[in-house]
Amino acid sequence: MHVPFARAQAPAPEEDVQAKMQAWSKALGVECTHCHIENQWDLGYLPVFDLAFRMEKMVKELNAGPLKQYGGNLTCNTCHQGKLTPPKVTREQWERDAKRYEAAYNGDQSLALQMGIFTASLGVGCSYCHDPNNWGWDDHPNKAVARRMRGMVGSINKHFAGVTNPEISCMTCHQGKPKISRSDEQQ
Ligand code: HEC
Ligand code: HEC
Ligand code: HEC
Ligand code: HEC
């Protein structure tokens, strides 16, 4: 087998490129040639190569920005978990509780959709953020976090220019749990 790292030119000293490439391949569940042309490792004209570059920038921005107060450390694997496409919220998932809480939503479909996405993505019930006897009560700390996270989700889309319908939601990172995965292992 060809050994791509046995090169005359050493990788940038501040970053271990080999470890990074292995982590990326594992996180996405792909071979090196998903992004590279074999034996031409420094060529980057494949569109996925460019997207990987942009994803790396996105991860750095999120960790240094909106996620800093939560400890940062978002990785490629947090969202990808060994797959090219992170999971999306299905219609069945977000509609699950729509009927049951019809009275609370009072005909507001977009509110029902939003709340359905929240509960499915975090794997929680309404009372994780609400007092069900007083939906408008605003002092629950998780409700405040959810508002901030919603703003962050809006800011993530810009990194996906050119990708058809990437569907960034709470599910992309949370994947059914209140805490995100930071491990290299896949669930
Ligand atoms: C998801 C896409 C992707 C995958 C998978 C991937 N790479 Fe990369 N690779 C890149 C990008 C983007 C760069 C440039 C970023 C950088 O240098 O930090 C790069 C840089 C490199 C470089 C440095 C090239 C240079 O300009 O000096 C080598 C060598 C390399 N990759 C080898 C590999 C090997 C071997 C694998 C499989 C274990 C692999 N890559 C998997 C996207 C990928
Ligand atoms: C916030 C969640 C998130 C993180 C973190 C993330 N990605 Fe992605 N990535 C996505 C989404 C969403 C897509 C679009 C998938 C789709 O809809 O096709 C995607 C797509 C990609 C693709 C294109 C897949 C294809 O079809 O070939 C590559 C390559 C990729 N990501 C690399 C990376 C790398 C490398 C990292 C870490 C530096 C990373 N991603 C981190 C969410 C994420
Ligand atoms: C992760 C936190 C979270 C979960 C879980 C959640 N909500 Fe909400 N909910 C919010 C936030 C944040 C708002 C405020 C939205 C806004 O500011 O536009 C809200 C708003 C509402 C409102 C409008 C009143 C208000 O406070 O503005 C209703 C009604 C509501 N949610 C019902 C539900 C129901 C029913 C469920 C369970 C199926 C649910 N929510 C689950 C965070 C959550
Ligand atoms: C880019 C990744 C990412 C996305 C997208 C995301 N979150 Fe989060 N969320 C985090 C991280 C990181 C934490 C801190 C908890 C942890 O360390 O895992 C967190 C924590 C939370 C918490 C507090 C949980 C706790 O027990 O501390 C709530 C509530 C929450 N998110 C709601 C949401 C909602 C609602 C959405 C969609 C509007 C969303 N998140 C989208 C990364 C994300």
Examine the domain organization and report whether 99 and 127 are in the same domain. yes
pLDDT given at position 12? 57
Domain total in the chain: 2
Question: Domain range holding 29?
Answer: 17-84
Ligand 4 and 25: CB distance under 6 A: no
Examine the domain organization and report whether 64 and 145 are in the same domain. no
Q: Between 63 and 186, where is the model more confident?
A: 63
Burial class (CB in 10 A: 0-12, 13-18, 19+), 185: exposed
Ligand 3 and 98: CB distance under 6 A: no
pLDDT given at position 117? 97
- pTM comes to 0.93
Identify the sign of the CA torsion 99, 105, 109, 114.
negative
Residue that terminates a domain, selected from 68, 84, 100: 84
Q: Which of 36, 43, 80, 85 to mutate to test the pocket of ligand 1 (most atoms within 8 A of CB)?
A: 36
Residue that terminates a domain, selected from 84, 114, 129: 84
Calculate helix-pair angle for 47-64, 141-156, nearest 10 degrees: 150
Residue 33 has pLDDT above 70, yes or no: yes
Give residue-wise pLDDT tens across range 128-181. Answer: 999 999 999 999 999 999 999 999 999 999 999 889 888 999 999 999 999 999
What distance in Å separates the CA atoms of residue 60 and residue 37, rounded to the nearest whole number?
26
pLDDT given at position 186? 81
Q: Are 73 and 63 in contact (CB under 8 A)?
A: yes
Is residue 58 one of the residues assigned to a domain? yes
Is residue 11 one of the residues assigned to a domain? no
CATH number for the domain spanning 121: value is 1.10.468.10
